[in-house]
Structures are given as C-alpha cells and as structure tokens.
Structure 1
Amino acid sequence: MKTLREINQEYHFEKERLRQWLINKEIDAPEEIYDLECDQVLEDYIKEEQYVIRHTPIRKKYQLVDEYEAPELIPMPFTILNIHDCVILDTETTGLYKDDEIVELSVLDMLGHELYHSLFKPEKKMGKAAIRVTGLDHEQLAHEPLFKDEWRKIKKAIGKRRIIGHNVAFDYRITVATALRYGIEESEVKRLFYNMIDSKEIAKKYIKTSSYKLEDLCRLFHITDPQKHRATYDCLMTLQMLRALENHLINRGITKESLVYDPLVIKKEKEIMNNRNKAIIYSYKAEKSITDISLFFGVSCDEIVDIIIEEYKKEEFVLHVDKEIEEKVIFLTRGKQTLEECLQATGKYVPSYLVKLVLLKRGFNYE
C-alpha cells in the first residue's frame, strides 16, 4: 500500500490543495497528510480526480464567527433528559493548565441561536496544541477585547438560566482562572455556573459506549462534524447530541418517571413517530436537504434515509442526489454485490446515508 507522499511524486499536487481536497471529500487523513496510506481504490480515485485536485480552491481553515447561521430546529421539550431553561456554553483556551485563560466563549440557546460570542486578547500566549486545534494564534487575537471588558455581556447573555457544557467543570475552572486574572470576583463566576449541567454525565447515565468525548458521541448518533473546533460549533454539537439522545430514548419507549419500557408509552410514541416520519418524507419531497431535515427533526441522516427507503418501497418518488456524489458512489461500488461491500468500499469517501440513497436510486434491492 502506497503513502500519499509516494503517489504525489507522480502528480506533484500542491500540498494545501491536496489537503483541501481531502477535507472536501471527507477523507480522514493524519496531520501530516503525506503519511496517509492509500489503498488501490483511493489511488484510482486520486488519478480520476487529478484535474479537480489541481484546481481545488483553498478555503480559510476556520469559518469566521459572523458566518455562523443558526440551524432551523423544531423545539424539543426534553421531558426525559429534564433540561429546561438552559443555555449551552463552550470555551476555547490558551491551553489546559491552571494559568491558561479563555480566548473564545460562546453561548447558544436550546434552538441553536447564538446569544453571545467573542474572541479575547489573552495575556498569555497560545500554546502550540491550542493553535493547532483552534486555528487561532496570538496575532489574530491581538486586537480583540479583553475578557474583563466583555464580562457584563456574558452575564447578561446567560442570565438566570442553567449552563450546559460538555465537561463543563473545565469551562467553570478556566472561567474562574480567567476572571481572577482580570480582577473579577470568583463569587460572580460561581453564581453564573450554579447548578451547571454536564452533557457528558447525561450521556453516561443513559447509554453505554467506549468513549464519551463529544466527537465520539456525535459519531455514535451520526451527527455531522462541522470540522471547526471553535466554541460556537462545539456548543451546536453538544445541543445536537442532546437532541439525538432525547430522540433515542423516546424511540425506546423510556419514560421520565420510571426509565423502563412502558407499552403504553411505546404505543403513543409510535403514533408520534409515524406523524414525524410523514413530515420527514414531505420535507424531502419538497427538496429540503437531508442534513437540514436532520437538524430540524433531531434525527440522524442515516435514520432519515432508512425512512425514505421504507416509503420508497411503498411508492416510488423522485430521489434527490448530488450528481458528483452519485458518480463517486457508482465508481467506488463497481462490482460490489451486497450493501455491506458497498459501504465498506465507500467508507472513507462518502457518508453511509448518501451511499444508501444512491443505491436506492440505482435500483438496489433493500428487501
């Protein structure tokens, strides 16, 4: 198996264009992309895409905050998780030590609307690991406001609502450290974080999995990673994970009171799910994207496609698939007979829900 470095000796692609192409195609690669090991399928795909790679525009690695657009989400009561009157908070920092400080803080409401966001000019320089993860450095932050000058706005955005965060104890500790650095009383931070909720602990209570890192939980629920390790997007992923968890528990017929299987609840929720499924099909037929439908209904993209497949079996309708995605799946699944073989062949390059949709359009038998 060749490395990307060996393959590129033939093509001489610009490294940054090659990196951007890998990102665009959702191909997982190590930090040093030339160390990526390429199987024959990927090698053939690079050969086919060489013109595209040479002309791939290099985008900014991280999206600017003013480009953030809140998703359209249907309100969710969270009757099982019992999280009400809350906000989602996340921070980015100069590092992970006691003397580090906050360089970015975001607060979202429970519909994903941004209540507050700001970058901050730190006294301490960014650590190398923090620069690599966030894409922020000291020069970029040189003209941002100081944390102390934004403290009043932060408190106003949160108000009396409870703070939810993933590993929120870290956000609390770093907020205390940053506040003390700039002469803000620790008691003010304590009041703000009083009765805080850790989304990681919520997940631990209801599901068993090997990792409770936010990105792993999102992967478990098939939530698309925006590939931006920044505060606002981490807040959004936390919210999406909680919505997916609530939906998962409803589907299993778990009640708030007993947290056991209740036949009456199952019957009632099945009716709700049937109505929801009808709304999902209606939205898809109206040419809403699967990712938008996923956000709105709090359902994974894979589950949405499964709903589409079941409805398509009853009555055929127009399937909307991006032409480039369709061509890629057709190329990668040549000679494959089973769904498992097709998903294995496309695993690195195309999300599974899109593969299943293309196969459905191509007449694959899902019986």
Structure 2
Amino acid sequence: MDLRDTVNILASVNQTLEQVKATEPVHSVDQLIEHHQLRKNLQAKLRQLDTALQALYQLAHSLPTIPPFEVVRWAQNILAMPNLAFLELDTTGLYESAEIIRALVLDRGGNTLLDLYAQSPTRALNADIERITGITTQDLIAKGQPIQVVIEQLRTVLHGKYVLSYNLDFDAGKLQEATTRLGIESLTFIGEDLMEHAMKYYSLRSYPKLEVLCRRIGSPLPEQLHQTAFHRAEGQLALLKAIANVVTDAQPTTSPPTAVEDTDAETLDEHPF
C-alpha cells in the first residue's frame, strides 16, 4: 500500500463522515438502520486507514539514520582549533599492568609532534600485540627510551593542546597507571573522546572500531602487521574531517555498507582500533 492508497482511504473516510452527519438526527426505523450501516462502514474504513498509517510509520522508521547536526558542528569547530592534537598510544595490552610501548602525537595538519618508543617492557611482546601495533621487540630494543622520558616529553608536547583520542578513557587510564608506577606527577591534558562523537554521528549504542569506520568513510587503514600508531592517528584525522563534511558512507553503492563491529564484554582483550 502506497501513499496514494492512503490518500484514497482518507477521502473515503471523509465522505462517509459527511454522510453520517447528513443522516442526523434520526427520525425513523429506516433512518436508524441506514445510520447503523453508515457507522459500520465508517469503522471499517477507519481500520483501513489505521493499517495504512501504521505501514507509513514503519516505512518512516526504516529510513536510514542521519547524523545529528550538533555533532557535525562540533567536528567543524574542533578542526578550526589551531592547537588541536591527536594522541595514539600503543600498549602491551588492556590489563591494568599493561605498559606503554609507543606514544604518538599529530597536529591538525597530520604533522608529527611526537613519536617515541618506550624501552622493552617487563613482559615480552606476544604475537597478538605485534600484529595489532605493528611493533616488534626488536623495535623497542633499537629505538626505545625510558618510559619516564616518554611521559615527560608527552607532557611537554600536550601542554596547551586540545587532545582528541579514539577511546580517550583507555589512553588516559594507561598514562595514569604509568605515572603511578613511576611515582611521578600525573599527566594532565584537556581533550575529548573521538569515539564517543563517532558513536553519536552513526547512532551506535556500542563501541565501533576505528578501522571499521575508516574503511566506511573511504580512508581504510593498512592491514594489521602493516598498521601502526601513525596510521591510526591519521585515521582519527580522516574520521574527524568526514564528520565535519557529513561523509557517512563512501563505499560504492553496489556493495552494502561495512558492518560496524561492536566491542562487548567478550572482546575486552581487543584494542579499539
């Protein structure tokens, strides 16, 4: 049933209503019989109208979601900030004692403000972490600096910056754990979680992976083993620009949109990228 059918039913309801009003008041048995039949016809047509309207409601509810306008304006305002910075941390895992092994900061133009490896952690990197981060134990041996040096340089670089991070709670938590273990002042910075805004933009109720969203907007990250913190930081910038320019799905129309993967209680050991 399409909109034209609904319009025709509505016109029929209106016509029957006019007939009902024209028969009032009732002055005879014949008129009463006629009036009851008209009322019966009216109820039947109203049920038809209700069915048609329910179908239209379902059609309206099945329309694709559109981004909230305030999230788009947020992204536009954030991109205009001259002190904008994107933070990426690589760690040995998600557990509380996980150690930071790389800290990367890009500015709003995609330029590198900081890129430091931390010296080999107390636990050896396992194959999963090497795959996820693109970092090997040999990288840390060759390039790593003491974690306290990494933290202090990060503190200097982030001073006066407005920081975006994909899953900011995770990064802030790992930095807090690191400074607590070192017995030094906490690293404080001002910023927001890009993932939370992306969830609002796509009307998602659980955590999407950065890799999935970047593929969806037409800026795919390299496959793991070749994907690094630098690629993910660039992915953050691309995602922010996509939100600011109302890009929701840059995939070809001949293929279905990439399904957004959710992070639930069973995948807490996976990184959000």
Which of the five TM-score ranges fits, normalised by the shorter chain?
0.5 to 0.7
Q: Distance in 2 between matches of 1:80 and 1:196?
A: 13
- 2:110 is aligned to 112
Instruction: After TM superposition, give the deviation of residue 231 of structure 1 in Å.
Output: 1.4
- 2:203 is aligned to 208
Count of equivalent residues: 176
CA contact (8 A) 2:211 2:220 kept: no
Closer, same or farther: CA 113–301 of 1 in aligned 2, 3 Å: farther
Q: Distance in 2 between matches of 1:135 and 1:110?
A: 23
- 1:305 is aligned to none
Q: Distance in 2 between matches of 1:176 and 1:80?
A: 27
- 1:158 is aligned to 158
Pick from 227, 233, 236: which aligns with 1:235? 233
- 1:180 is aligned to 180
| Secondary structure of 2:245's aligned partner | helix
Q: Distance in 2 between matches of 1:222 and 1:196?
A: 26
Please identify runs of 4+ aligned residues in structure 1 that moved more than 3 A: 299-302
CA contact (8 A) 1:86 1:109 kept: yes
- 2:177 maps to a residue whose letter is A
- 2:220 is aligned to 224
- 1:134 is aligned to 133
CA contact (8 A) 1:95 1:127 kept: no
- 1:223 maps to a residue whose letter is S
| Secondary structure of 2:87's aligned partner | strand
Q: Which runs of 5+ in 1 are unaligned?
A: 1-77, 252-298, 303-338, 345-367
1:1-367 to structure 2, matched below 5 A, reads 79-81=73-75, 82-83=77-78, 84=81, 85-121=83-119, 122-143=121-142, 144-186=144-186, 189=187, 191-192=188-189, 195-209=190-204, 212-227=208-223, 228-248=226-246, 340=254
| Higher strand fraction (1 or 2) | 2
Q: Which runs of 5+ in 2 are unaligned?
A: 1-71, 257-273
CA contact (8 A) 2:221 2:227 kept: no
- Identical counterparts, % of pairs: 26
Q: Distance in 1 between matches of 2:207 and 2:96?
A: 25
Closer, same or farther: CA 219–141 of 1 in aligned 2, 3 Å: same
Q: Distance in 2 between matches of 1:198 and 1:154?
A: 18
Q: Distance in 2 between matches of 1:300 and 1:159?
A: 35
| Secondary structure of 2:101's aligned partner | strand
Closer, same or farther: CA 204–301 of 1 in aligned 2, 3 Å: closer
- 2:220 maps to a residue whose letter is T
Closer, same or farther: CA 153–175 of 1 in aligned 2, 3 Å: same
Specify which structure has the bigger relative contact order, considering alpha-carbon pairs within 8 angstroms and separated by 6 or more residues. 2
Instruction: After TM superposition, give the deviation of residue 229 of structure 1 in Å.
Output: 2.9
Closer, same or farther: CA 208–245 of 1 in aligned 2, 3 Å: same
Closer, same or farther: CA 211–93 of 1 in aligned 2, 3 Å: closer
- 1:215 maps to a residue whose letter is E
- 1:239 maps to a residue whose letter is L
Instruction: After TM superposition, give the deviation of residue 211 of structure 1 in Å.
Output: 5.8
